[in-house]
Structure 1
């Protein structure tokens, strides 16, 4: 699959179209294998006990897959999540950012399917795994 939006273009898209959350994310890498996205973990992302909340982790996985799709099809703001299953496997490390590695498994005309692994920065073992399906609007 050909990359049509690089990291800078995806970051600019987030800022322009999703400014309310763009500051939380940094597009680290875009390549043939997919997208790596960083969640800049802040106090608002934590749950009692100081760990990153499930909703924050879901958001990271969802945005990472969205950007992986856009990296291939261009800036389609109305592509939407139609399904997500997420497994929380271990507690994220306190005080560090989370990284999402999104990989497209299928990119069709109307649906895209992919997996996302979430890691604590510097950690070797994933803290969560998500499987997502997106609907792509007709051109």
Structure 2
């Protein structure tokens, strides 16, 4: 994996999409093969105004996104990936008023599939808010589809 990918592209992939930017996702580091992102606590991300707890959908999105980043770390490069399966186990409510972190590791790569484990937490990864197990489809290098080759073929 090149330093350029780690230093430049990976942080951009963490927050560069419209939805990740809107949610405030930010690259929070890389430790070996474990990638971490952070989402700052904001009132507009709260799922239950009475408790101030962040929305469960935000947690799922965070875990899915950090999982994709872990696939790219495992590959050592950017290639299109798509979530095939995502199981999230919610263990407790996120603490109100606290930023949420997510960390993921791609533990198995095949030619077309990547398998990831991820967890969301405030400070301590051993006290997770939620944990995820996921599988991603990885586009083979050179098989990227663009808008030009996605057009319907004319009827015969």
TM interval, shorter chain, is 0.7 to 0.9
RMSD: 2.1
* 3-state SS, counterpart of residue 55 of structure 1: helix
Secondary structure at the aligned position of 2:47 is classed as: coil
Deviations 1:71-109 (A, max 9, x none): 233222x31100011111011111111111101110122
Distance 1:46 1:40 in 2: 11
Alignment of 1:1-139 (within 5 A): 2=1, 5-6=5-6, 8-16=8-16, 18-22=17-21, 24-48=24-48, 49-73=51-75, 74-76=77-79, 78-121=80-123, 125-139=127-141
Structure exhibiting the larger radius of gyration computed from Cα positions: 2
Q: Which runs of 5+ in 1 are unaligned?
A: none
**Matched residues, number:** 136
- Normalising by structure 1, we get a TM-score of 0.85
TM-score by length of 2: 0.77
Considering Cα pairs closer than 8 Å and 6+ residues apart, tell me whether 1 or 2 has the greater RCO: 1
Q: Distance in 1 between matches of 2:2 and 2:57?
A: 29
